[in-house]
């Protein structure tokens, strides 16, 4: 197991997210008809809000709200439609729960409008490759910014999944994404990094990144791990529908905790919060105390 550095992530309104003492649970709330795991489940605003509140009750510290599926091969959604899907949910949840709200988008206009309605984190699956103006939104609003590693758009990412050493190359490309953010005025202490399991990566690449996650910690920023129900879990499990990959997800979540991830992003909050609690107890028994980082 790996020691985990502590960070203090500044958020709008003077709030701070403490990272490092324990692994934070981020619940996935997709407001889409075509997400790979739960598309169509939460398209109704009231149903989506109820699902979000249930996730908080089950142990979610953060709700990650997305209005466009970013699975490989997914069709892009216009900003107007994405705004129509997510803004009522963000606004209503912000009025009903103190849990942190994250907007899962790569579009600057969606990030800005969601931040104005209560989102305090922007989760960009493109690492600022798709819409560089999103960095300015984070800089101006003070939202935290999650930068995920990927290559290309969803329809071409597997063609670009070619690496000599996936961990070394992902580390370098994440470092470039951080430079894009800071050059636009984002404070380094606002940033979280995500290796992007399954995005422009074959199954073996995702397993290498998970096993060697501590090497990405050398970038000096908090890490998010998002293995939930991903297709790379099928390699040892066999062909299964996303919702049937929960035990595989549990193993990957536990491995993420042991490897020092600060945040895990999951679909089944109740089950994975239990996994995190037990994995954290094992860490505590091994005295893997958090180290103090900058910020």
At residue 155, the pLDDT reads: 81
Only one residue has tokens 């090497």, namely: 215
pLDDT of 203-257, one tens digit each? 999 999 999 999 999 999 999 999 999 999 999 999 999 999 999 999 999 999 9
Q: DSSP string of 147-212?
A: EE---S-TTTGGGG---SSHHHHHHHHHHHHHHHHHHTT--GGGEEEE--TTSS--HHHHHHHHHT
Contact 24, 57 (CB under 8 A): no
pLDDT of 224-236, one tens digit each? 999 999 999 999 9
Averaged pLDDT of the chain: 93
At residue 288, the pLDDT reads: 65
Q: Does residue 268 have a pLDDT over 70?
A: yes
Contact 66, 86 (CB under 8 A): yes
> What backbone torsions phi and psi does residue 82 show, to the nearest 5 degrees?
-65, -40
Contact 206, 232 (CB under 8 A): yes
At residue 157, the pLDDT reads: 87
Confidence band of 41 (pLDDT split at 50, 70, 90): low
Catalytic residues: 230, 265
Question: Apex CA 261: angle with CA 260 and CA 267, to 5°?
Answer: 145
- Interatomic CA distance for residues 192 and 178, integer angstroms: 9
- Interatomic CA distance for residues 250 and 231, integer angstroms: 14
Confidence band of 293 (pLDDT split at 50, 70, 90): confident
Q: DSSP string of 227-276?
A: -TT-GGGHHHH-S--GGG-HHHHHHHHHHHHHTT-SEEEES-HHHHHHHH
pLDDT of 99-158, one tens digit each? 999 999 999 999 999 999 999 999 999 999 999 999 999 999 999 999 999 999 888 888
At residue 72, the pLDDT reads: 65
> What backbone torsions phi and psi does residue 71 show, to the nearest 5 degrees?
-60, 155
Task: Show the domains of the chain with their CATH numbers.
Answer: 5-289 (3.20.20.20)
**Number of other CB atoms surrounding residue 95 within 10 Å:** 10
């Amino acid at each position: 197991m790996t020691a985990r550095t502590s960070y203090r992530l500044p958020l709008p309104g003077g709030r701070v997210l403490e990272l490092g003492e324990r692994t934070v649970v981020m619940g996935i709330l997709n407001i889409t008809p075509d997400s790979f795991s739960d598309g169509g489940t939460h398209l109704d605003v009231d149903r989506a809000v109820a699902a979000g509140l249930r996730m908080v009750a089950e142990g979610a510290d953060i709700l990650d709200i997305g209005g466009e599926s970013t699975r490989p091969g997914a069709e892009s959604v216009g900003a107007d439609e994405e705004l129509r899907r997510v803004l009522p949910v963000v606004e209503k949840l912000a009025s009903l729960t103190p849990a942190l709200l994250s907007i899962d988008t790569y579009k600057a206009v969606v990030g800005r409008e969601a931040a104005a309605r209560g989102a305090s984190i922007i989760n960009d699956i493109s690492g600022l490759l798709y819409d560089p103006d999103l960095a300015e939104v984070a800089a101006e609003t003070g939202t935290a910014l999650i930068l995920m590693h990927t290559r290309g758009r969803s329809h071409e990412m597997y063609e670009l999944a070619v690496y000599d050493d996936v961990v070394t190359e992902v580390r370098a490309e994440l470092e470039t994404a951080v430079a894009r953010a800071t050059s636009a005025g984002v404070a380094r202490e606002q940033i979280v990094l995500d290796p992007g399991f399954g995005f422009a990566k074959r199954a073996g690449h995702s397993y290498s990144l998970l096993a060697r996650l501590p090497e990405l910690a050398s970038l000096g920023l908090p890490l998010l791990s998002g293995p939930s129900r991903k297709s790379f879990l099928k390699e040892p499990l066999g062909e299964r529908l996303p919702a049937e990959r929960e035990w595989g997800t549990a193993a990957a979540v536990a491995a993420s905790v042991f490897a020092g991830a600060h945040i895990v992003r999951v679909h089944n909050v109740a089950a994975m919060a239990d996994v995190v609690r037990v994995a954290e107890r094992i860490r505590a028994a091994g005295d893997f105390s958090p180290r103090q980082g900058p910020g």
